Amino acid sequence: MVKIEDLKKIREMTGASVDAVRQALERAEGRIEQALSLLKERGAVVAAKKADRETGEGIISSYIHSNGKIGVLVKLMCETDFVARNEQFKKLSYELAMHIAAADPQSVEELLYQAYIRDEDTTVEELIKNYIAKMGENIKIGEFCRFEIRK
């Protein structure tokens, strides 16, 4: 039997659907850590299925660091305008811009393999795959540009 409190907790942590969380908890026999691991695996599977789908929509986000000396523009691509206007997609785009400001990757490929600044146990690529599973569409980083004023 799945505890409602556990279901709510995992849903808040992951943003996964209630049904997906319930199934993961049932498979994990109520163990939260194992359910989280199952949801992470599911996200990778969903992302792999959507990887070949074309990303013709998206948004450009910006981040300016509080000192005003670092700024980032990032182009995040998705399949539909509906997802591009979604608040979760906008949040991901902003988080990526902030990560780029902090970590200073030199290419999209390098960025994808970096540990995400808010969760060192997750790579940026895994973060994006989690959003692909949540949003149900392919998501890709188109390009980014980082500016910095140095002495």
Q: pLDDT per residue over 45-96, tens digit each?
A: 555 555 566 767 999 999 999 999 999 999 999 988 899 999 999 999 999 9
Is the per-residue pLDDT at 137 higher than 90? Answer: no
CA angle 72/74/75 to nearest 5° reads 160
Q: What are phi and psi of 114, to 5 degrees?
A: -75, 150
**102/33 same-domain check:** no
Residue 84 contacts residue 93 (beta carbons within 8 Å) = no
Give residue 50's identity as a one-letter amino acid code. K
CA distances from 101 to 9, 71, 119, 145 (A): 31, 7, 16, 10
For residue 35, give the CATH number of its domain. 1.10.8
- Domains held by the chain: number: 2
**62/31 same-domain check:** no
Is the per-residue pLDDT at 151 higher than 80? Answer: yes
pLDDT digits (tens, 9 = 90+) for 82-136: 999 999 999 999 999 999 999 999 999 999 999 999 999 889 999 998 888 888 8
- Pair of tokens at residue 133: 């599973």
Q: What pLDDT shows up at residue 52? A: 65
Give the residue numbers spanning the domain of 15: 4-50
Provide the 10 A C-beta neighbour count for residue 2. Answer: 17
pTM to 2 decimal places: 0.72
Q: What pLDDT shows up at residue 107? A: 96
Q: What pLDDT shows up at residue 100? A: 98
**30/98 same-domain check:** no
Q: What is the mean pLDDT of residues 3-28?
A: 73
Q: What pLDDT shows up at residue 45? A: 55
Instruction: Determine the 3-state secondary structure of 150 from DSSP.
Output: coil
